[in-house]
């Protein structure tokens, strides 16, 4: 009989602890419900607007004759940054643009440093050379001289400096 009493006491203790734990959880849940009930109510404007935003249609359909309420378009212009003025020297322009033809002789272009090829052009004068380099020239060569060597981003003065450099290297 003492064994049965021991089992019954242990069983009662375990059942009591579990019941107390369940009651504690129930009380805690009720307390949390009371504390948060005022925060999330379905009648609050904030809750209703959040729900309306989530379920709103992607687009709207208008039938002929419906008045469409639109806002006036606004144009925002960002201030344009000022371009950075970088002026290249004659040798820099030659290495960037002119060397492709005047370094290899492509299209019968006179090679820089070849005095014989440049002598007839130098005899025409620097004004003619500068004009042909800036504005281009369709001579009797296979490939014409492109305006500014095909680099429209170069200024006239940069091209003139490159011509002066090539002439000085070819005399």
- Listed as own residue / partner, the contacts of 114-120 with beta carbons closer than 8 Å and 24 or more positions apart are 114/170, 115/170, 115/171, 117/170, 118/166, 118/167, 118/170, 118/171
pTM tops 0.85: no
The mean per-residue pLDDT over the stretch 15-27 comes to: 97
The mean per-residue pLDDT over the stretch 8-32 comes to: 95
Condensed to tens digits (0 to 9), the pLDDT of residues 114-160 reads 888 888 888 888 888 888 888 888 877 666 888 888 888 888 888 89
pLDDT value at residue 67 = 77
The C-alpha atoms of residue 43 and residue 114 are separated, in whole angstroms, by: 92
Residue pair 132/145 in contact (Cβ under 8 Å)? The answer is yes
Q: Say yes or no to pLDDT of 71 above 80.
A: no
Q: Say yes or no to pLDDT of 37 above 80.
A: no
171: number of Cβ within 10 Å = 9
Say yes or no: domain 90-169 is CATH 3.40.50.1370: no
The mean per-residue pLDDT over the stretch 86-106 comes to: 84
């Amino acid at each position: 009989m003492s064994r049965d009493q021991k089992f019954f006491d242990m069983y009662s203790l375990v059942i009591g602890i579990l019941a107390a734990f369940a009651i504690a959880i129930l009380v805690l849940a009720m307390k949390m419900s009371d504390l948060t009930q005022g925060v999330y109510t379905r009648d609050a404007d904030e809750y209703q607007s959040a729900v309306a935003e989530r379920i709103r249609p992607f687009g709207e359909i208008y039938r002929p004759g419906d008045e469409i309420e639109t806002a006036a378009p606004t144009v925002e212009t960002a201030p344009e940054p000022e371009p950075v003025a970088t002026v290249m020297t004659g040798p820099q322009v030659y290495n960037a643009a002119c060397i492709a033809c005047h370094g290899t002789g492509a299209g019968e272009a006179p090679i820089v440093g070849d005095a014989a090829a440049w002598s007839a052009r130098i005899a025409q004068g620097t004004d003619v050379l500068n004009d042909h380099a800036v504005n281009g020239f369709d001579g009797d060569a296979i490939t014409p001289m492109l305006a500014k060597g095909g680099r429209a981003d170069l200024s006239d003065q940069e091209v003139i400096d490159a011509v002066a450099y090539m002439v000085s290297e070819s005399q």
